[in-house]
Structure 1
């Protein structure tokens, strides 16, 4: 199997681990997707890397692939595509003054033209974090537009794969009201896979156990730790500032702060007390801020890769809710403790 080359911590490496996820993509290549498949999971868990690897696999299965990531730092990664559709992409770009300002629409247009011009072909549309790039109330519109590509194509196709990734927990609630998409969770890396990524980084470095306890298998947290000379304090401080967590905690009622402190120890506290209106409000805020996720049964059909354990208090994982990473939980705990000491 062809492995995608990715950038990690200032070096180029091959896609690591996620064997279950890779097998799943091969299955999708054989049968296509219906309806739209939305892959969501913790921020920094590797969804972008996963979609890049999916592109490589689908191309091996003779798919014409259009991949877009509106939030990519480099222009060349905002839109990537199979060389076989280069002329179509050029045609579309020449017809627009500023195609990158509407890259999601442009990508859909490219896919539609590919259907019309390259009949009976295999087509894949991979959309990375588009809900964060567009206004949230448009998430439903774009999901329906992508479904229309499947149901009402501009030309005949042999197979089609439509994958959309999202870190926005709210998008799941909005889109889930309709039957336009199926949702799958991609969790942080397994312990074995994360160890392989950890070993890519040079010594000196903390022990794997220490890194695992704060990152919980999240590649982005691992990279941030490396770039901050393994200073957990610096990474947590940066996270607190970027999310304005001090303002968030200050805005909570005393009861909400008490519930949140309980959720630090056991995230399923939220589930157990979900009848309470204050808990319902707090749950919505925590999901909107990408601090926690509600997680379902660990049956494989709802997960792209290996699901997290049924419960792991060390990593902040419960049966029904989980902190996106241990670092998320630690940042909230720190602000709560400071607030209680005021």
Structure 2
């Protein structure tokens, strides 16, 4: 499969990389929206064009090839010393020792590799939410260190699906946040055409809202929307019903903006998300109650809203 859509998002990130950023960028969005895929693609572009690009999966365990990309010979040499005597999880260790890694790479880099892109994925889940502010502050200081080594431009990106980390960091000036939404309708159609899915583009859009991971789960369930909704109702929405109560869940299924406090609790459960209509890599989704999208809040995918309605009908 080819990388689908995301030209606008890729262009914005590559532009930031070439200009350089003064603070880390927190890219947040729905689970399964393609954040990791996009960011690995950007790192590949940077590496191909002669820059220094590093992607770290902070949740990776003991497999070095999963924990860091690209795993070049120079990278392996530096990591042999850096990780000597270190026990898994390797991704967490690499996230913590990021400065040592970058400094080693830059010392060995050719003169033209003076633009740097660093992506740390899922680090707040790896370190714990209580470390989010301190770790992000260290990334901000790391940018200053990189410029101190003489780099022309540097961009540090942190990816997360957790609303709690976004809310914490929105209080500070040493980071900025940017929303990455699901694929647009055209992008979803492009993806469907590649896999020759036996489902209409409109039906897939109304169920997944352009979420690639959920589309994959739909395929695993033999393209049965009913089975997907039943599964989500049992596995994800039953707990949500207990968390916010029947009345609030009914209101949110009807209007995502109707119960902000309950929506915030569902954001912590990765079911809803606070939208940004200014700081956004993707075009912000237009309000559409059938898709579960309001002006300020949205269900991360329409399937969660459908699962909520299905659960409420049964109970």
Shift, 1:98, TM fit: 4.3
- 1:1-342 superposed matches below 5 A: 13-71=1-59, 75=63, 76-81=65-70, 83=72, 85-86=74-75, 87-94=77-84, 96-98=86-88, 100=90, 102-115=93-106, 118=109, 121-153=114-146, 155-203=149-197, 205-243=198-236, 245-253=237-245, 257-270=246-259, 280=261, 282-297=262-277, 299=278, 302-309=279-286, 311-339=287-315
**What SS does the aligned partner of 2:223 have?**
coil
1:3-61, CA deviations, whole angstroms, 9 ceiling, x for partnerless residues? xxxxxxxxxx2211111112112212321222000100011000011111111122234
Shift, 1:74, TM fit: 9.0
CA distance in 2, matches of 1:330, 1:238: 11
**What SS does the aligned partner of 2:131 have?**
helix
| Structure 2 unaligned regions, length at least 5 | none
1:235-285, CA deviations, whole angstroms, 9 ceiling, x for partnerless residues? 233334443x324313544xxx22321221221213xxx5xxxxx2x2331
Aligned partners of 1:64 and 1:84 also within 8 Å: no
1:53-106, CA deviations, whole angstroms, 9 ceiling, x for partnerless residues? 111122234221221113358932221136374232333233635461523214
**What SS does the aligned partner of 2:5 have?**
coil
- After TM superposition, the score normalised by the length of structure 2 is 0.89
CA distance in 1, matches of 2:243, 2:177: 32
Aligned partners of 1:116 and 1:156 also within 8 Å: no
Tell me which stretches of 4 or more aligned residues in structure 1 moved more than 4 Å: 115-120
Aligned partners of 1:40 and 1:185 also within 8 Å: yes
CA distance in 1, matches of 2:108, 2:134: 25
Shift, 1:118, TM fit: 4.5
Count residues with an aligned counterpart.
309
1:103-152, CA deviations, whole angstroms, 9 ceiling, x for partnerless residues? 32144431233345549732221111221222111111211111110123
Aligned partners of 1:65 and 1:82 also within 8 Å: no
CA distance in 1, matches of 2:217, 2:290: 21
